[in-house]
Amino acid sequence: MGLKFTLKKREKDMNIGNVKIGKDFVIIAGPCAVESIEQLLNTALYVKACGAHLLRAMVFKPRTSPYSFQGLGIDGLKIVEEVREKIGMPVVTEVVDPRDVEQVCEVADVIQLGARNMQNYALLREVGRTSKPVILKRGLSATIEEWLNAAEYILSEGNENVILCERGIRTFITETRFTLDLSSVPILKKLTSLPVIVDPSHAAGASDLVKPLAKASKVVGSDGLIVEVHPDPQHALSDNKQQLNFDMFKQLMLELNELKC
Amino acid sequence: MGLKFTLKKREKDMNIGNVKIGKDFVIIAGPCAVESIEQLLNTALYVKACGAHLLRAMVFKPRTSPYSFQGLGIDGLKIVEEVREKIGMPVVTEVVDPRDVEQVCEVADVIQLGARNMQNYALLREVGRTSKPVILKRGLSATIEEWLNAAEYILSEGNENVILCERGIRTFITETRFTLDLSSVPILKKLTSLPVIVDPSHAAGASDLVKPLAKASKVVGSDGLIVEVHPDPQHALSDNKQQLNFDMFKQLMLELNELKC
Amino acid sequence: MGLKFTLKKREKDMNIGNVKIGKDFVIIAGPCAVESIEQLLNTALYVKACGAHLLRAMVFKPRTSPYSFQGLGIDGLKIVEEVREKIGMPVVTEVVDPRDVEQVCEVADVIQLGARNMQNYALLREVGRTSKPVILKRGLSATIEEWLNAAEYILSEGNENVILCERGIRTFITETRFTLDLSSVPILKKLTSLPVIVDPSHAAGASDLVKPLAKASKVVGSDGLIVEVHPDPQHALSDNKQQLNFDMFKQLMLELNELKC
Amino acid sequence: MGLKFTLKKREKDMNIGNVKIGKDFVIIAGPCAVESIEQLLNTALYVKACGAHLLRAMVFKPRTSPYSFQGLGIDGLKIVEEVREKIGMPVVTEVVDPRDVEQVCEVADVIQLGARNMQNYALLREVGRTSKPVILKRGLSATIEEWLNAAEYILSEGNENVILCERGIRTFITETRFTLDLSSVPILKKLTSLPVIVDPSHAAGASDLVKPLAKASKVVGSDGLIVEVHPDPQHALSDNKQQLNFDMFKQLMLELNELKC
């Protein structure tokens, strides 16, 4: 495969806030997109109280249509910064343009690269030149080998902190948005010492499937989850079918904690 | 969808031996194929001792190539009958030809229809005219709607005892034999009151992936598992990469029992 | 691959009526399903006048739902026999149950095995014991290797007359029913000396796509086409979106004849 | 679908050099990657003599692995410029980073956006702010709707000159690199007035499949082809299995010209 870094044993720990990535089971939760200071702050307070470690706080949204809500952009970053400081919770935010990487890094604790950008090599390299932990989502039609090669782009630039995120692949299935490939988790855990988390929200595309898939993700040996939570999913500006409301998230956290595996 | 029976609430229980299908978490275990009386008997004794409820005992093997081992056929049925009587364990066996259904029903407690026969309508109808419980495996490229329609072929002939079995779908993935679609389990449990079990062995195609996928199958709400177990997988006449050896199966059963979800 | 017969050079010609399969560009046309003597006779007269060599005349229809029209069955066979004799045109008809093979062979000049039965090994073997030419459609998720292995089941029983039929594979695409994989034609023509035809009707699922895909099928080197034609597609009992009406078929034949490649 | 521009009727012509895109059948040919001035110049002279209209001349190569040849980059652009001027042939070159768009536009007559960047929205927007014709390749797992939405990103920024390029989708097939979806051509030609070309080289991944697929692409109604041609494919620095040598390209052009459809 010609993989120089992803197959190497990691020496250093990857700690973000109080959580040891790859050792603790990390919970990243928050809205699909930042919509307002109230929305983000309320969600952050709630998910933190339930035990989430990191706040999902996206301001650049790669959307299929240019006419859909694209996120609040740079203005949104200020909201993220304010909430982050107010409640002392580390934040994950997505970057979609190599020209924004520097500015995003001033706020973000963790950078996310989305599925549609898994092979956006200019962006991968730019992020590889920072030292921020990077969540690298699996591309919609990426094999495990292609995914690890994408991680190599980041690692070979000097950034050792890549976290792989399974989020479902495109198949002929129409009952879910994507097909969550949970076998990728034990395969990756065997191949590489990079942490592997799962995004059950995007895979399912339906909030009632998030809990069983999240629990299954823990059981197959993943290192954590990234879950969409919104105070009022029905009125969300994006992904309104798959975001959990507060009660659903609380219930998910309860059941995850009880799950001994 | 025009589904008359699969969406109806089941009234009756489906009991096989001591296990209540759809209530207890049923474990079906045994070799990919019956190879000899010793092989089947030893496996049966072992898996029963570990807590398996039903014995997997296949004598008609649908193989990709006509030159691969095709199973022991009718001679194998006698072995199955002997082992079944000797240790009093109900057996699951596959049928692939409508002309064999009657004879197979004399021995089998449960009939299996394989993935490649999910839309073999002559066979579905013939099995529908019996009263035996039927495990209907999902076709390699079947949507949930097509799968339920296949179940309708059996149910509409009068046989109420259909058990659906998720076993992975064909995708672009090459790292596993198929991609296990665990979201199908909660979707089906919501749509239908038919029991839903999972076959992690065929989906994975690799014995070391069976345990995590089996545990995930329990956690997403399935009603049981069908798992391949062989006394000496390396020398098995078929599926030698994915069958568990005795120790692996014992460990799987231990972890499944400890898994509270 | 362990392919004993499909990779061997064919010695004998395969002639059906006046057409040399594998040399002439064979056109098989007719309705999705036989509905009545008038419908079949009118269609047969029309497609013959346009230059079709064989009549498509299906009486056993494998349908996704048991509540859809299943074909006229044995009664339909009598209609096929009558039309065949009346106009002296060889007929292709599908068989779905091994118990029907003998009876179907009394009428059919060519037997078809559908995509959903490509790995129905009992049926393949039964058909392999006859000497009738067999159109073996590609399974919905079959690789070329699996497809050739299915042909081996027929050939290894002694029937040398297998015609492979590309009819589209299942992919994530929703704009067409299936995705026609035209690269399979030159690949197969290089690997095997079995004739290869194409079914553009089922792949497309839309009548206006049939003509371009049919022409492309000729250009990539296929040995012929099987096309659905109905006197009144809108009122057809099955596949009403993809059947050509008479004018569309005439136009297709004109353009195919003009296509020098 | 919310498609504002792609479904609108185009008013203006799109002329590049002497060729009217969308009216003439445009042939774009050249190496996978620019390797040297000799290689590009020789190829350009040859393909021009055979009748190609535009020169394929890529200097930024998005490669799966960071350790594969990445193209000559900015240095390569100078080679492209020199060859372009020397023989007066318009050039197509790929851009992969929004920061390079301005510089690339100084040389390129047509910009290409590759399959892996189909949903790289920062890049789409940047290219949309130029007036250069843009070849937008279909993403590996893109539906037609997603592809048209990607085109909307370019069109909505003011650039009207989008050319869609079918290049195969990812499926379970392993015999070819991708599965060329030729039905997309007539579907797009009906939906939109944007020109639609086909890349048979990347779809096939094998040089002997390029000719039949290229001819099929013409027959289904596409507006042209982009084909990889290299003076010595075996020693090419990338895609060495699928590039045509000079003789193969000459033969392809001959057969394309003879193909009346």
Report whether pLDDT(A173) > 90: yes
Tell me how many residue pairs between chain A and chain D have CB atoms under 8 A apart.
70
Please, what is the angle between helix A207-219 and helix B184-191, to 10°?
140
Cβ pair C174:A171 closer than 8 A: no
Residues of chain D numbered 103-142 and touching chain C (CB < 8 Å): 141
- By the CB < 8 Å criterion, does C174 face chain A? yes
Q: Do C170 and A172 touch (CB under 8 A)?
A: yes
Q: Are D93 and D57 in contact (CB under 8 A)?
A: yes
- With an 8 Å Cβ cutoff, is B174 touching chain D? yes
Count CB atoms within 10 A of the CB of residue D25.
16
CB-CB under 8 Å, D171 with C187:
no
Burial call C212-244: b when 16+ CB within 10 Å, e when fewer: bbbbbbbbbbbbbbbbbbbbebeebbbbeebbb
Per-residue pLDDT reduced to its tens digit, A128-166? 999 999 999 999 999 999 999 999 999 999 999 999 999
Rounded to whole angstroms, the Cα distance separating C170 from D134 reads 31
- Helix and strand element counts for chain A (H, E): 9, 10
In chain B, the percentage of residues whose pLDDT exceeds 90 is 95
The pTM is what?
0.97
What are the tens digits of pLDDT across the range C10-56?
Answer: 888 899 998 999 999 999 999 999 999 999 999 999 999 999 999 99
Residues shown for chain A = 261
User: Minimal Cα–Cα distance from D3 to chain B, Å?
Assistant: 29
pLDDT by residue (tens digit) across B136-173? 999 999 999 999 999 999 999 999 999 999 999 999 99
Residue that has been written with the tokens 């085109």 in this structure: D151
- pLDDT for residue B1: 55
Interchain pair B64, C119: CB under 8 A? yes
Contacts of C157 (CB under 8 A, 6+ apart): C125, C128, C129
What pLDDT does C1 receive?
A: 55
pLDDT tens, N- to C-terminus, chain D (261 residues): 589 999 998 888 899 988 999 999 999 999 999 999 999 999 999 999 999 999 999 999 999 999 999 999 999 999 999 999 999 999 999 999 999 999 999 999 999 999 999 999 999 999 999 999 999 999 999 999 999 999 999 999 999 999 999 999 999 999 999 999 999 999 999 999 999 999 999 999 999 999 999 999 999 999 999 999 999 999 999 988 999 999 999 999 999 999 987
Percent of chain A whose pLDDT exceeds 70: 100
Q: Check if C143 contacts D (Cβ < 8 Å).
A: yes
For chain A, say whether B158 makes contact (Cβ under 8 Å).
no
**Residue numbers of B between 29 and 88 with CB closer than 8 Å to C:** 62-67
Q: Of C206, C202, C209, whose CA–CA distance to C168 is shortest?
A: C202
The CA distance from C33 to C79, in Å, is 12
Q: Which residues in chain C have Cβ-Cβ distances shorter than 8 Å to B153?
A: 66
Residue of A221, A195, A224 whose CA lies nearest to A14: A195
Per-residue pLDDT, averaged over A109-118, amounts to 98
Closest by CA to A136, choosing from A161, A162, A116, is: A162
* Contact indicator for B54, B16 with CB cutoff of 8 Å: yes
Q: Do D57 and D91 touch, CB atoms closer than 8 A?
A: yes
Q: How many helices (H) and strands (E) does chain C have?
A: 9, 10
Q: What is the CATH number of domain B24-256?
A: 3.20.20.70
Beta strands, E only, chain A: 14-16, 19-21, 26-30, 54-56, 91-94, 110-113, 134-137, 162-166, 196-198, 224-228
pLDDT tens digits, one per residue of B56-106 = 999 999 999 999 999 999 999 999 999 999 999 999 999 999 999 999 999
The model's confidence at residue A10, banded by pLDDT at 50, 70 and 90, is confident
Q: How many CB atoms lie within 10 A of CB B253?
A: 19
Q: In the numeric block, which tokens belong to residue D199?
A: 């890349």
Rounded-to-integer distance, Cα A228 and Cα A167, Å: 12
Please, which chains are in contact with A (at least 3 CB pairs closer than 8 A)? B, C, D
Q: Please, which residues have CB within 8 angstroms of residue B148's CB and are 6 or more apart in sequence?
A: B1, B3, B6, B7, B191, B192
Indicate whether C156 pLDDT > 80: yes
Question: What pLDDT is stored for residue C110 in this prediction?
Answer: 98
Q: Do B187 and A175 touch (CB under 8 A)?
A: yes
Q: Does D174 touch chain B (CB under 8 A)?
A: yes
How far is it, in rounded angstroms, from Cα C56 to Cα C79?
Answer: 13
Q: Are D70 and D111 in contact (CB under 8 A)?
A: no
The string of DSSP letters for A203-236 reads: HH-SHHHHHHHHHHHHHTT-SEEEEEB-SSGGG-
What's the one-letter identity of residue B6?
Answer: T
Residue of D29, D32, D47 lying closest to D250 (CA atoms)? D47
3-class DSSP state of D73: helix
Q: Find the length of chain D.
A: 261
Q: Is B210 on the interface with A (CB under 8 A)?
A: no
Q: Which residues of D touch C251 (CB under 8 A)?
A: none
φ, ψ (nearest 5 deg) of residue B66: -70, -10
In this complex, the chains that touch C, judged by 3 or more CB pairs closer than 8 A, are A, B, D
pLDDT at position A1 over 80: no
Can you list the alpha helix ranges (DSSP code H) found in chain B? 37-49, 73-87, 101-107, 121-128, 144-155, 184-191, 200-204, 207-219, 246-258
- Domain made up of D14-258: CATH architecture: Alpha-Beta Barrel (3.20)
b/e sequence D56-68, b meaning 16+ C-beta within 10 Å: bbbbbbbbbbbee
ipTM: 0.96
Classify C16 as helix, strand or coil. Answer: strand
Domain ranges in chain B? Answer: 24-256
Using the 8-state DSSP alphabet, how is residue C228 labeled?
Answer: E
Backbone dihedral region for residue D105 (phi beyond 0: left; psi -120 to 50: alpha; all else: beta): alpha
pLDDT attached to residue B197: 98
